[in-house]
Structure 1
């Protein structure tokens, strides 16, 4: 009969103390992050089975839920900050504790889960934005209910709370068409996020509904969010469109500057409409028309879905699409009013 793997075995393999292994695998302080990651990775590779005492024992659960995201996502406070604060409030209202963990690129690459997930010390998990498909699947493999926020993928089997990207983009481009624009450009990187791909689909839907075939020169679907790159892309165009739809406010901000650098005026020569209604759309000169997302609703719906999923683990997975609202500002105008 095969002998059960112990913490001492892991300690012996790494030539460290058993106490260090225990601290790392139980999520306690006392070891560095680098050592903790190494111990967790080694434990997984050796097939270590966590003690049953660390798993939920009762129907009441642990009283904890987790919010995890990449270091990059947590750095985007203008967009994700309001979602996080709402999640924190909604969790407290339900009498639960919220564990927050930023996932480093090293942990993502090596598929290392935080100790509280490995030890089954939470009843549900929220994943904020895109981390990595394989890492997300590793999180789901814990068996703990998971809800994704602002991300989905055909190979990720979990509930998702999403912006209605196609219809939001459709409405944005429809608005530009109603202003008389026909030569409308698309600016975004569709490989970065499924949301951006869906916004391209909405752009195409709106154009084709009006019987307009988009000019291929005006569809920049591999945009890099760097000012000099955007400036050069505009200079390379054989002719400029009369309006741009940008998949986010960052690109809207950059294309605003690039248009003015090449000697054109906004909105007299070119109108701009972007997406997210973040800080950059408000501080741009002129300020940018943008599609607003209700970030508080994002957080509220994520918590509602997670708590529902915790009690309905066998129900089919669902995607919840949240609406957008056009916020009209100075960067758009009726075509011909110059």
Structure 2
């Protein structure tokens, strides 16, 4: 039996990018008219089934909504699990059935889509957290309405539901500054997620607005959530800042415990502020000041936007920024007066 011709097959035949093929066959801007016609001609020769033809096969709605995410995201049950439950509840209330698929590393790298996407068995797609840009665009190329949850990228054209990371990190840093801190460190991995990069931007903006110069020794942008790594990083710092801002509660927990191991008292010697209001912020000693993310709101807004997109397929794509709330706990206090 002859296998189905894909956009990648056409791209390989013409030695061009898959994205160019997608733009040409979907009628989007980005390729010249000459290139578009060449791609269309080759696609017809190879027997490619156009998205328009796939649409005709599903004139009636399937009643299904897809939720896909990486194995890593689904494993973070305390954070993404709550979003998933909210999505499931909202989808059910709207009379739809939720189909869930975890995407492993091999499928992601080889751009292997779940069968219910390949077969057009869903009316809309929710992508939870970070999948590679190439994989996300392969999902979008199915021409099924898609909304991203807690992730975005300039090369991805889709609606996104996001935390207002910059302003939230600004508020967290402002809290530390208002307490009197001027020596503030940053702990995060800005390459892991756009969210963490944006939180660093919010941190830097707050310092800038208050005329505080960041000490490069206290700006750690490649942090790994491992106790050995945090210990190594914090023991190489000649002097501790009076406060740390951490991009998530996992790092906040590790910074807190490492400070205790090094003989510091939190918050008497060093304050710690983190982000997400997850379980670890409520298990640490002392409890960690953090930025609360409304996970149920994430799920509700994602489903609302997807259903709107299903009815407004040609409207401009939008990014919706959700607010956070500062939860002040025992891990932050005014710095001790200099001796």
Aligned residue for 2:330? 330
Q: Any idea what SS the aligned residue of 1:330 has?
A: coil
The Cα offsets for residues 245-274 of structure 1, whole Å up to 9 and x where unpaired, read as 000000001011111111111000000000
Q: Any idea what SS the aligned residue of 1:181 has?
A: coil
Aligned residue for 1:305? 305
Aligned residue for 2:115? 115
Question: 1:268-283 alignment to 2 at 5 Å?
Answer: 268-283=268-283
Question: 1:127-206 alignment to 2 at 5 Å?
Answer: 127-206=127-206
Q: Any idea what SS the aligned residue of 1:112 has?
A: coil
Alpha-carbon separation, structure 2, partners of 1:181 and 1:57: 62
Instruction: Give the CA RMSD over aligned residues.
Output: 2.2
State TM-score, norm by structure 1.
0.84
Q: CA deviation at 1:52?
A: 10
Contact 1:62-1:122 within 8 A present in 2 as well: yes
Q: CA deviation at 1:106?
A: 1.1
State TM-score, norm by structure 2.
0.84
Q: CA deviation at 1:104?
A: 1.1
Alpha-carbon separation, structure 2, partners of 1:208 and 1:49: 54
Q: CA deviation at 1:58?
A: 5.6
Alpha-carbon separation, structure 2, partners of 1:323 and 1:277: 13
The Cα offsets for residues 140-165 of structure 1, whole Å up to 9 and x where unpaired, read as 00000110000000101100000000
Q: Any idea what SS the aligned residue of 1:232 has?
A: helix
Q: Which deviates further from its counterpart, 213-222 or 273-282?
A: 213-222
Q: CA deviation at 1:232?
A: 1.1
Q: Any idea what SS the aligned residue of 1:275 has?
A: strand
Q: Which runs of 5+ in 2 are unaligned?
A: 6-45
Instruction: Give the paired residue count.
Output: 298
Q: Any idea what SS the aligned residue of 1:147 has?
A: strand
Aligned residue for 1:264? 264
Q: CA deviation at 1:131?
A: 1.2
Instruction: Verify: 1:62 aligned to 2:62, yes or no.
Output: yes
Q: CA deviation at 1:55?
A: 5.6
Alpha-carbon separation, structure 1, partners of 2:281 and 2:4: 56
Q: Any idea what SS the aligned residue of 2:268 has?
A: coil
Alpha-carbon separation, structure 2, partners of 1:52 and 1:205: 46
Alpha-carbon separation, structure 2, partners of 1:8 and 1:147: 26
Alpha-carbon separation, structure 2, partners of 1:76 and 1:65: 22
Question: 1:43-82 alignment to 2 at 5 Å?
Answer: 49=49, 57=57, 59-82=59-82
Contact 2:289-2:326 within 8 A present in 1 as well: yes
Aligned residue for 2:244? 244
Q: CA deviation at 1:6?
A: 3.5
Contact 1:55-1:121 within 8 A present in 2 as well: no
The Cα offsets for residues 88-112 of structure 1, whole Å up to 9 and x where unpaired, read as 0110111111100011111111110
Q: CA deviation at 1:336?
A: 2.3
Q: 1:165 to 1:83 in 2, by over 3 A?
A: same
Contact 2:51-2:143 within 8 A present in 1 as well: no
Q: Any idea what SS the aligned residue of 1:77 has?
A: coil
Contact 1:248-1:274 within 8 A present in 2 as well: yes
Q: Any idea what SS the aligned residue of 1:240 has?
A: coil
Q: 1:76 to 1:117 in 2, by over 3 A?
A: same
